[in-house]
Structure 1
Amino acid sequence: MDIPALIAFLRARLAALEARAEHLHDGEGCSAHSEFSWGYEYDPQDCDCGEPDRARAHVEATRRRIDWCAEVLGRRDLSNYGQFGALKDDPDALAVTLAVEILRLEALPYASHYDYREEWRP
């Protein structure tokens, strides 16, 4: 499994979400969205739904999980990696397994993206 490619894929998805965050609003209840819908000048500071802040917090939390996984995996050779146990002689086998599986799970919501690889599917 190409872990660096998986990490790069996830970081790209997070960057895209972060770039759109200020435009993500709860359609029914957000003042910024309501004014925008009526054709008035759109100002993200009118937001009162909190969705942009939640999206940014989600990006930051996911980024931290990815960074932790990357740190655990380091430059480890995962050519013998098999889900749950192929690294049994490695004293860090549990941490490595968790890191790989977390990355795979983080990528799952993007399974329909054209850059997603089936080998990443948990």
Structure 2
Amino acid sequence: MTAFPRTPVLYVLLAMAAGLAGSSARAQSAVTDGQKLAFDRGKGNCLTCHVIKGGDLPGTIGPELKDIKSKYPDRNELVAIIFDETKRNPQTMMPPFGRNRILTEQEISAIVDFLQTL
């Protein structure tokens, strides 16, 4: 009977595989949390102004949120827009969700994770 060698390399590979599985689950959780926040009428409230696939009763004040990753390949730009769009566009109607502490940095990050899947 041949047993697997108990070398550090084997343990490292097993640990890496476990880590990848865990990070995938965490990423999916962040996307789900971000969608919940984006669709939540009391928190993120993105649907008040934007059409988002899968959302009910969207508004049309803001642009439709689709193809986000191609429009904003730099994740940090999208984070900055949600945090405080008035820095980029002083005439915007979009609330500064981060500056006004409507959303935490973690919540904004989760919403960006979700938006990048659209």
TM-score, structure 1 normalization: 0.35
TM-score, structure 2 normalization: 0.36
Whose helix proportion is higher, 1 or 2?
Answer: 1
